[in-house]
DNA sequence: TTGTATGCGTTATCAC
DNA sequence: GTGATAACGCATACAA
């Protein structure tokens, strides 16, 4: 309720002097500082950040817009963003789009109105509308985890999705599997597309041309993984191995296998992209291609901060990180080819 | 970049008219409105909410401060808050304190500076410092999930923790257990204290007086549950049943049992407070006392909104919701008393 | 139905 | 070291 004026009056100084105490800027005599600090304490003064930001044109706030904060991959990524931003004195606002581009547009609009200093975006789709809005307002932006539309100039951090998928499928092939299915994510989302491409390349190189019968599409969720796997298990020649395009799909798939009275890996080998929720990780079971989620968040935030400081080059930068193949039990042992 | 002035000039009207179009307030001719809307579109005008809020003294923003957003109980509660607030036109800021009172104080300070219209608080500890700060700034407040310190007048929504714990332990007693342990939460956190009280009452009523040997304290985390259970299993006369004070402790405990080469419920019966993460829920296994998490968030937000509208009574209101006993497998069958 | 004057609480700029 | 002045972009109060 008290304003900077009230504090100034009480301390017998000008408002700007109070401002200097709060922000630790400019020169101040020790005595003045103490008088002001006493007045602040007595009045229980709380600075108004709205006024501060309106005048200074900086909110010291970043936004992270992502598609599913309940996915542990994104939770970890968010922590990487938060830690890095926090060290640099920035607050982070988190927004969850549930893979909906409409939600994404709404959030981006609000964030721009809030005058956030920068945005980290995991795009829900690839129309690039949100990216365009952000760039039109000259708000610094980094695209995270997914490819932006072609010909869009923007800083990017993502992983080798194609190569990671290739390695996983390659592993299954080397174990002797030929009928390998893929539970893919949403068509048009670059991570899903790239992982599918990696699957296809591995299959093609292995001389397997009819693989497309075992390609099914869904969303990046546990429910989708369950449904897709259940259906795949009911096909005439069910696969001996399955690649889940992310961790949640993998968990759903595992449950579908169990619900069908089958076992992983004995009846069906199972591998997935992304490491698992901590609540499941104490059973080291899933063979995965793990993305360095925390590091992705950190690197992306560093790119953004460098732009905010004006320390970034004109051109868009692109960081593509490797994934790590972690072989556990769900991929099983070498099998005898039928 | 464009301001309300630019739009006004372009549309040939006064800034206030543009303001009226944006906020749908006051009377406007259809023609004027259209001219203004055209100008807004042409200039890609984005209203500045900082300026708007500074002037109007409302941010249309609520804050939810909680202790662990990765706990599915709080995730669900947060959704209840978000949905209810969103329907009323409010945005929600989420803050995670990790059970640290220092973090809580920092967040509360920032939120007050941001001029949020109201705060929903799950207090990390019970010193009441944050509550005091918030009330001093006359910011509407609802305390969620946990009891505020005695003699603090504040709206509250929480559950029947004591009664829920009593029922769970009662269930174990009725199944024939006598050596029942409790993996409790942090001392001083009201939910932990109340659940422990429920345990003690049930044991006392059953004429078991030496139960305190089987009371161990930790934090509301999976790691803590694991450690506590591991230690408890190594005691001389290990318990035949255990009550975990929340879901994460329960999961950790289950893993400790398995790691010790034992089984639930055959070797140790296990029950816990709070329902489980969706990723685990498809195995309906845990016997729990489930809190209506979504509803708690909804009810708390309704209390807060009523205060914001000035439609609330002077006195503090208290809503205490029942918990639901869900009996699944982990509590096991009746046993023969040794 | 539309406009003028003013101020929200703070900081940038320049002056002393 | 400290202060006076103006301005950030918008909405309230009142007027026309």
SS3 per residue for chain A: CCCHHHHHHHHCCCHHHHHHHHHCCCCCCHHHHHHHHHHHHHHCCCCCHHHHHHHHCCCCEEEEEECCCCCHHHHHHHHHHHHHHHHCCCEEEEEECCCCHHHHHHHHHHHHHCCCCEEEECCCCCCCHHHHHHHHCCCCEEEECCCCCCCCCCEEEEECHHHHHHHHHHHHHHCCCCCEEEEECCCCCHHHHHHHHHHHHHHHHCCCCCHHHHEEECCCCHHHHHHHHHHHHCCCCCCCEEEECCHHHHHHHHHHHHHCCCCCCCCCEEEEECCCCHHHHCCCCCEEEECCHHHHHHHHHHHHHHHHCCCCCCCCCEEEECCEEECCCCCCCCCCCC
With 60 as the cut, is the pLDDT of residue B109 above it?
Answer: yes
Strand C contact with A52 (CB < 7 A): yes
CB contacts of B1 in chain A (<8 Å) are 137-138
Residue B6's CB is within 10 A of a number of other CB atoms, namely 16
- Rounded distance in angstroms from the CA atom of residue B228 to the C1' atom of nucleotide C3: 71
Question: Under an 8 A CB cutoff, do B46 and A251 touch?
Answer: no
pLDDT at B280: 64
Taking only the tens place, the pLDDT of each residue in A138-162 is 999 999 999 999 999 999 999 999 9
Mean pLDDT of A90-108: 94
With 90 as the cut, is the pLDDT of residue B49 above it?
Answer: yes
CB contacts of B53 in chain A (<8 Å) are 50
Question: Under an 8 A CB cutoff, do B53 and A48 touch?
Answer: no
Taking only the tens place, the pLDDT of each residue in A28-46 is 899 999 999 999 999 999 9
Mean pLDDT of A87-92: 95
Chain B residues with CB within 8 Å of chain A CB: 1, 44, 46-51, 53-54, 59, 70, 75, 91, 93-94, 109-110, 112-115, 136-138, 222, 226, 248, 251, 255, 277-280, 282-283
Q: How high is the mean pLDDT of chain A?
A: 94
Query: What share of chain A in percent tops pLDDT 90?
Result: 86
CB contacts of B281 in chain A (<8 Å) are none
Minimum Cα–Cα distance from B255: chain A residue: A282
Taking only the tens place, the pLDDT of each residue in B28-46 is 888 999 999 999 999 999 9
With 90 as the cut, is the pLDDT of residue B64 above it?
Answer: yes
Strand C contact with B50 (CB < 7 A): no
What is the pTM assigned to this prediction?
Answer: 0.92
Taking only the tens place, the pLDDT of each residue in B171-192 is 999 999 999 999 999 999 999 9
Q: How many CB pairs under 8 A join A and B?
A: 76
Q: Which nucleotide is nearest to A20 (CA to C1')?
A: C11
With 90 as the cut, is the pLDDT of residue A20 above it?
Answer: yes
Question: Under an 8 A CB cutoff, do B251 and A279 touch?
Answer: yes
pLDDT band at B282; cut points 50, 70, 90: low
Strand C contact with B46 (CB < 7 A): no
Minimum Cα–Cα distance from B109: chain A residue: A46
With 90 as the cut, is the pLDDT of residue A338 above it?
Answer: no
Taking only the tens place, the pLDDT of each residue in A295-331 is 999 999 999 999 999 889 999 999 999 999 999 999 9
B284 or A254: whose pLDDT is higher?
Answer: A254
Q: Check residues 108 to 147 of chain A and report those whose beta carbon is under 7 Å from nucleic acid strand C.
A: none
With 90 as the cut, is the pLDDT of residue A268 above it?
Answer: yes
Strand C contact with A56 (CB < 7 A): yes
- Name the packing angle between helices B190-205 and B161-174 (round to 10°): 40
Mean pLDDT of B285-297: 96
């Amino acid at each position: 309720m008290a304003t900077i004026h009230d504090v100034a009056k009480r301390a017998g100084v000008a408002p700007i002097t109070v401002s200097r105490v709060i922000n630790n800027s400019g020169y101040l005599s020790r005595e003045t500082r103490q008088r002001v600090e006493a007045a602040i304490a007595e009045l229980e003064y709380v600075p108004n950040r709205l006024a501060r930001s309106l005048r200074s044109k900086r909110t010291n706030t970043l936004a992270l817009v992502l598609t599913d904060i309940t996915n542990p991959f994104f939770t970890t990524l968010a922590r990487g963003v938060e830690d890095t931003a926090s060290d640099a004195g920035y607050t982070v606002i988190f927004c969850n789009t549930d893979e909906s581009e409409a939600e994404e547009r709404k959030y981006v609009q609000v964030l721009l109105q809030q005058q956030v200093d920068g945005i980290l975006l995991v795009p829900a789709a690839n129309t690039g509308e949100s990216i365009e809005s952000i760039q039109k307002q000259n708000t610094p932006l980094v695209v995270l985890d997914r490819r932006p539309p072609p010909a869009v100039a923007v800083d990017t951090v993502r992983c080798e999705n194609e190569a990671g998928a290739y390695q996983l499928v390659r592993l299954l092939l080397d174990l002797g599997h030929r009928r390998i299915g893929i539970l893919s994510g949403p068509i048009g989302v670059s991570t899903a597309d790239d992982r599918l491409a990696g699957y296809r390349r591995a299959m093609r190189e292995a001389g397997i041309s009819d693989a497309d019968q075992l390609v099914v599409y869904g969303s990046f969720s546990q429910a989708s993984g369950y449904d897709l796997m259940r259906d795949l298990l009911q096909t005439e020649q069910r696969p001996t191995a399955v690649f889940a395009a992310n961790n949640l799909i993998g968990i759903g798939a595992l449950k579908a296998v169990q619900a069908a009275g089958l076992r992983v890996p004995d009846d069906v080998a199972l591998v997935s992209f992304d490491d698992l929720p901590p609540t499941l990780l104490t059973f080291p079971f899933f063979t995965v291609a793990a993305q360095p989620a925390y590091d992705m968040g950190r690197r992306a935030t560093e790119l953004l901060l460098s732009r905010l400081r004006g320390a970034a080059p004109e051109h868009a930068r692109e960081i593509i990180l490797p994934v790590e193949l972690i072989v556990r039990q769900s991929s099983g042992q070498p099998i005898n080819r039928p």
